[in-house]
Amino acid sequence: MTQESTEQSFADLFQESSSKALRHLEPGQKIRATIVGIGGNSVFLDVSGKNEGILDISELLNKEGELSAAIGDKVDVYFLKSTGGAQIFTIKLGSGKNATHLEEAWRNGIPVEGLVKEEIKGGFDITLGGSIRAFCPYSQMGLHRVDDAGAAYTGRHMTFQITRFEENGRNIVVSARALLEQEREQQKEALQASLQEGATVHGTISSIRDFGAFVDIGGVDGMIPISEIGWSRVEDIKEHLAIGQEVTAVIKKLDWKAGRITLSLKETLANPWDAVRERFTEGSMHTGTVARLTTFGAFVTLAPGIDGLIHISKLGGGRRINHPREALEAGQEVEVKVEGVDNETRKISLAPTDYVSSESKETEEKNEYKNFLSEKSVKKQEDAVGSLGALLQDKLRSRSK
């Protein structure tokens, strides 16, 4: 584009806004402006007012030093101050070679761009504007704790907010977390209008704790309790999920006042209990694994997500025991019989295949006694018949004589 055409475009665009009223802006206010001219070290902006806006050209140069925008493009800028009838704007203080307005950025809450140079005691050494040093504590580098912060942040270009500016810029403290929290608050307001219980959301695992995993769902964090990770009992969450992993979950509960969103991962998975009644019928035999022992019995995993209980009274092979550990141990394979299934409460009653209940034992003993009496009666009859036959034979022999 020639200088003549550039000047013509500049004149045309400003002519369109010449009748506009003066727009009052507060330092640090963010607006969307249109590039109407480029000349020397300045980029001229249409900011919807009589006064022209000026942006330092270095803020629009890429790593190769080339201009990354053109006349007519729209850019998001922050108002710094008015001087000489012009309004001075910035995209992000500290970018490129322009580092002359850091104090204004501190006073007005304008973001600054910095390079995370190296990890030092308590945080990181940040370079602003190519030469100005600042410090960012570990806790202010992000929204969540990172296990290896040095590897995660060193060498990255990040956006910060200046939280302390002292000694004419010789003592500067910055925070990336402050800006991230502002962004998330804006995103949260938008999500409140769209999210609802029962909805399916997509997110990224941002943090893992013993009690559950936190998921960034685009502006807010939801939490998957350990009990909602899968249908099977989960002991170690890290065996199932990892930081940075993308997941799909169902919103179980929304509490905007308390700032809590409860998610469920298992609700997106097939429910193994849907086929329990057909697969584990009463009286059927199965091989299971002892999952855990309690004072009242042993839980046995029959299939992923399906556990049954052997009550302590059915363990010990007929002898009385005080704890299931006297008969079984976790991880042991056992042969069991299904005694009962309750789909509503999701409970399966089990017994060892060699277990004989007291009722069954009593019935067996009664049957054995009946058999004994029956056999004894038959024997008596046989004995009686035998005795009568002998008498008749004796009488016959005596008559023959």
Span 261-276, mean pLDDT? Answer: 88
Q: What percent of the chain lies above the pLDDT cut of 90? A: 34
Q: Pairing state of beta strands 306-311 and 347-352?
A: parallel
**Is-same-fold flag (106-180; 195-268)?**
yes
Asked if 41 contacts 19 with a C-beta cutoff of 8 angstroms, the reply is: no
Of 151, 149, 155, nearest in space to 117 by CA: 155
Residue with tokens 């104090």: 103
Please name the helix (run of DSSP H) or strand (run of DSSP E) that holds residue 376, with its range, or none. helix 358-400
Characterize 300-339 residue by residue with b for buried, 16 or more Cβ atoms within 10 angstroms of its Cβ, and e for exposed.
bbbbebbbbbbebebbbeeeeeeebeebbeeeeebebbbb
Beta carbons within 8 Å of 246's beta carbon, 6+ residues apart: 202, 203, 204, 205
Asked if 9 contacts 37 with a C-beta cutoff of 8 angstroms, the reply is: yes
What is the rounded CA–CA span in Å between residue 180 and residue 263?
A: 22
Structure tokens at 268: 């997106």
Residue 18: pLDDT band by 50, 70, 90 thresholds?
very low
Residue type, 106: W
What is the rounded CA–CA span in Å between residue 219 and residue 12?
A: 41
Span 129-148, mean pLDDT? Answer: 87
pLDDT tens sequence across 115-126: 999 999 999 999
> 10 Å Cβ neighbour count for 228?
20
pLDDT tens sequence across 39-90: 888 899 988 766 678 988 888 888 788 888 899 999 888 887 787 778 888 8
Q: Domain ranges in the chain?
A: 3-91, 106-180, 195-268, 276-358
According to CATH, the superfamily of the domain at 276-358 is Nucleic acid-binding proteins (2.40.50.140)
Q: Is the full-model pTM beyond 0.85?
A: no
User: With 80 as the cut, is the pLDDT of residue 14 above it?
Assistant: no
In this prediction, residue 382 carries a pLDDT of 60
At the topology level of CATH, where does 3-91 sit? OB fold (Dihydrolipoamide Acetyltransferase, E2P) (2.40.50)
Query: Could you give the dihedral angle defined by the CA atoms of residues 72, 73, 74 and 76, in that order, rounded to the nearest 10 degrees?
Result: -130
Structure tokens at 272: 């193994």
pLDDT tens sequence across 174-225: 999 998 888 888 777 778 878 888 999 999 998 899 899 999 888 788 999 9
Asked if 181 contacts 251 with a C-beta cutoff of 8 angstroms, the reply is: no
What is the rounded CA–CA span in Å between residue 290 and residue 302?
A: 9
pLDDT tens sequence across 307-320: 999 999 999 887 88
Architecture (CATH level 2) of domain 106-180: Beta Barrel (2.40)
User: With 50 as the cut, is the pLDDT of residue 169 above it?
Assistant: yes
* CATH number given to 195-268: 2.40.50.140
- Alpha carbon distances (Å) from 138 to 115, 175, 223: 15, 9, 23
Q: Which residues pair with 203 in a beta bridge?
A: 247
